[in-house]
Amino acid sequence: MHNVTTPLEMATFPRRQQFEFYGAMELPNTTLCADVTVTALLAYCQQHQISSYRAVAYAMLSVAQQLPWMRWRIRDEGRTVVEHSVLSAGATMLGKDEQVRFTCTPFQPEFRAFDAAFKRHTQQAASSDTLFNQGTTNDDTDAFLYLTCLPWLRFTQFSNPMPIDRFDAVPRLAWGKYDVQGAETVMPVALQAHHGLADGLHLTQFYHALERMLAQPDQWLSPAQ
């Protein structure tokens, strides 16, 4: 999908006061970590031999397309906010030397197409000796959602490394080890966002939308052929 970037009208921007207040801070980012139920998703993925890792990445990226604030980015040293029409998945992958690699996959509405591209890009990154891989060497845009997974650990708090840049507005997402709690299985999800563009209510909306999507995998996942 081709991305279109549209400047927002700052005179009528709904978060103008909050944006000016938090945007003046050196570290305007806020992070929320909460459990998300994945019982139905894991059962469906196991039954149809689908990677739950790639399914979660697709779900997170899909939800981000639905929430305008996740597509907002800051321009002109805080004087302007623009809205991207579509985001790509900027993901981390563990290399063969057990060191991190970066890769990028454009969003595609149909899961099977995204799944194939995401699998190819992450496998290429994992076998590469280069830190920056597919789609990351010519990074002149911020139309990304940063994704990282720690499958070895269940965490209750998470913070991403990032530059001390109060104009960096790219949301950062991390998810961890699945945890069986009675009849349900949950996973921790941490969301880091620019407070000038989103409050706790908006971050919560992401969690609720993600959990609704993960609870109905049959409506968007395509079994492997």
**pLDDT tens digit sequence for 187-197:** 999 999 999 99
Domains of the chain: 29-219 (3.30.559.10)
Q: Is the full-model pTM beyond 0.85? A: yes
**pLDDT tens digit sequence for 163-191:** 889 999 999 999 999 999 999 999 999 99
DSSP secondary structure of 141-197: ---EEEEEEETT---S-------S-TT----EEEEE--EEETTEEEEEEEEEEETTT
